[in-house]
Amino acid sequence: MSQPVELPRWMDVLVLPALNLVIALAVAGVVVAIVGFEPLEVLQLLIRGAFGTPSGIGYTLYYTTTFIFTGLAVAVAFHGGLFNIGGEGQAIMGGLGAGLVALAWSAHLPAWAMLPLMVLAAALFGAFWAAVPGALQAWRGSHIVITTIMFNFIAAALLGYLLVNTLKAPGNMNPESAAFAASARLPGVHELLAALGIAWPRTPLNLSFVLALLAALAVYLGLWKSRPGYSLRATGFSPDAALYAGIEPKRLIVVAMALSGALAGMVGINEIAGVHGRLLPDFVAGAGFAGIAVSLIGRNHPLGIVLAALLFGALYQGGAELAFELNGFSRDMVFMLQGLIVLFAGAMAHVAAPFLYRLWKAGGGGKLAT
């Protein structure tokens, strides 16, 4: 059968991804067993580590926040037919933007002015870092995959240079900036809950999580309810139809990339304003690339991306917990599991579809429809 089969929507959206996840876990279980651990015990520990304690949940959602931002960044560009591999660099620039305004003004401005300013700076820095490759693609035909990858290196080098040469706090051996004043610290969720009288352990989870959910909603509304979103999706699906419809693709490419970069830049808010309170290297730690997998598994839809980000967040946190609890269980095993999930739920997402389709037909499905 050369044509992809057409599953009913509920199976396509729910059953197939769940099946893919189970296959990935099963294959990972085989590897775990070969290495000499008990697969079910590992799975149990993983889930307990991610969701078993309030602290675990806090960490899981903190990782989730970062993955939502980078996943959305990839999706926005993808709907315009653009493959933005530069989430990493755009996130670095977002952190740099937030850090620079914090270092400059956090001693003088109150939190209500400082925090929006940092969000704006992170968005603008990230947007700029993606808009340049976008413009090069639109007007010069430079392939966006290449330029965004290159921009990752430039961003990392720029941040490193600035930290070592100009921003390093005096007397500090590490390439880190001075700590920001309190007004530039995004409140943690434990602080907010404490204000409401709810006790919650201290975790890196901060207000950025709410920002991420709002961003997902905004991306949904923007892509499916707004005129530029329509134009972007039309361009992504069929550039010829877009030209026919009088849609000018060049500006649209730049705008889509800028929005994508702004979303990636929000990682800087989660990490720099929400957790570290100072500018430091390597705070992105591969989250920009993980966003590609998150978007792929989430089918480029904001809701799917939030769920896929939660899955990845749980794997990060549960994996850290596993490495801690099980002697000899390396964190690389968790990366292996992530890789299998990307393979089965992303790259090979439709391999199991014909099997499901036959099951569904055998069960009498679809007879009413035809």
Partner 1 sequence: MPVNATASPAVAMRGIDKRFGAVHANRAVDLTVAAGTVHGIVGENGAGKSTLMSILYGFYQADGGEIEIEGRTARISGSREAISLGIGMVHQHFMLVDTLSALDNVMLGAEPTFRLTPARATVRAGLQALMDRTGLVVALDAAVAELPVGERQRLEILKALYRGARILILDEPTAVLTPLETEQLFATLRQLREQGTTILLITHKLKEIMALCDRVTVMRQGAVVLDAEIADTSVDGLAEAMVGRRVNLAASAAARAPGEALVRARDLRWRDGLGVERLKGVSLALHRGEIVGVAGVSGNGQSELLDALSGLLAPQQGALTVGARGFTPERWLDPATARTLRIAHVPEDRHKRGLVLPFAAWESAVLGYLGRYCTAGWMQHPRMKSDTAQMMDAWDVRPRNPALRSSKFSGGNQQKLVLAREALPEPEVLLVGQPTRGVDIGAIEFIHGRLRAMRDAGGAVLVVSSELDEILALADRVIVMNAGAIVGELPIAECSESALGRLMGGAVH
Question: Given the rule CB under 8 A, which residues bind partner 1?
Answer: 225-231, 233-234, 237-238, 240-246
Comparing CB distances to partner 1, the nearer of 198 and 221 is: 221
What's the first-to-final CA gap in the chain, in angstroms?
20
Nearer to partner 1, 160 or 228 (CB): 228
Give the burial class of 214: count Cβ atoms within 10 A of its Cβ; 0-12 exposed, 13-18 middle, 19 or more buried. exposed
- How far is residue 278's CA from residue 99's CA, in Å, rounded to a whole number? 7
Give the shortest CB-96-to-partner 1 separation in angstroms: 31
For residues 203 and 235, which CB has a smaller minimum distance to partner 1 in the complex?
Answer: 235
Judge whether 16 and 340 are in contact, CB under 8 Å: no
Q: What is the distance of C-alpha 37 from the center of its chain? A: 31
Tell the smallest beta-carbon distance from residue 229 to partner 1 (Å): 8
| Cα radius of gyration rounded to whole Å, the chain | 22
Alpha carbon distances (Å) from 127 to 122, 131, 133, 141, 238: 8, 6, 10, 19, 25
Contact (CB, 8 A) for 250 and 45: no
Least distance from partner 1 to the Cβ atom of residue 155, Å? 31
Nearer to partner 1, 77 or 310 (CB): 77
Q: Which lies closer to partner 1 via its Cβ, residue 227 or residue 367?
A: 227
Q: Interhelix angle for 111-140 vs 87-105, to 10°?
A: 140
Tokens 């290196």 found at: 153
Closest contact distance (angstroms) between CB of 300 and partner 1 is 12
Nearer to partner 1, 153 or 237 (CB): 237
Ramachandran angles phi, psi of 206, nearest 5°: -135, -175
Provide, rounded to whole angstroms, the least separation between the CB of residue 345 and partner 1: 21
Q: Residues in the chain, how many? A: 370
Give backbone dihedrals phi and psi of 364, rounded to 5 degrees, phi first. Answer: 90, 10
In the bound state with partner 1, the residue whose beta carbon lies nearer, of 51 and 220, is: 220
Q: Report the nearest approach of partner 1 to the CB of residue 220 (Å).
A: 13
Q: What SS3 state is found at 168?
A: strand
| Least gap, CB of 84 to partner 1 (angstroms) | 20
